[in-house]
């Protein structure tokens, strides 16, 4: 019996291109000077490892499994704002 595997997405697929544009925007937002950009390039293996770890973490379907939809539906606007700020801060750390 043959099993079907899901097609793997690459950086050339539309979803991959969207990811690359997100990384590009973050790189531009970092406003690196020539020295900082060179140091980043020289640490390519570390950068790749960090990106792979972040991709694994953020692409996991159960990343926010501990938070129920009902909790968000009943949350006040200020609670939603605080949650959004906390998530943004968490994403910036990675």
**Overall average pLDDT of the 24-49 stretch:** 93
Going by the DSSP 8-state scheme, the letter that residue 9 receives in this structure is P
- Up-side HSE of residue 47: CA atoms within 13 Å toward CB? 10
Q: Which residue range is the domain that position 41 belongs to?
A: 17-63
Q: Is the pLDDT of residue 30 over 90?
A: yes
37: in domain: yes
Q: Please count the structural domains in the chain.
A: 2
- For residue 90, what pLDDT is reported? 76
Q: Say whether both 58 and 37 belong to one domain.
A: yes
Per residue in 37-90, pLDDT (tens digit) is 999 999 999 999 999 998 888 888 765 556 665 665 677 777 777 777 787 777
Q: Say whether both 45 and 77 belong to one domain.
A: no
Task: State the Cα torsion 30-31-35-36 to the nearest 10°.
Answer: -10
């Amino acid at each position: 019996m043959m099993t079907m595997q899901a097609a793997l997405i690459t950086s050339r697929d539309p979803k991959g291109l969207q990811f690359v544009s997100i990384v590009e925007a973050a790189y531009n937002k970092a406003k690196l000077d020539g020295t900082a950009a060179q140091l980043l390039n020289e640490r390519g293996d570390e950068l790749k490892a960090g990106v792979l770890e972040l991709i694994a973490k953020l692409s996991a379907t159960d990343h926010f499994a501990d938070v129920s939809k009902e909790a968000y539906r009943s949350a006040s606007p200020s609670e939603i704002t605080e949650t959004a700020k906390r998530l943004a801060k968490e994403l910036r750390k990675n």
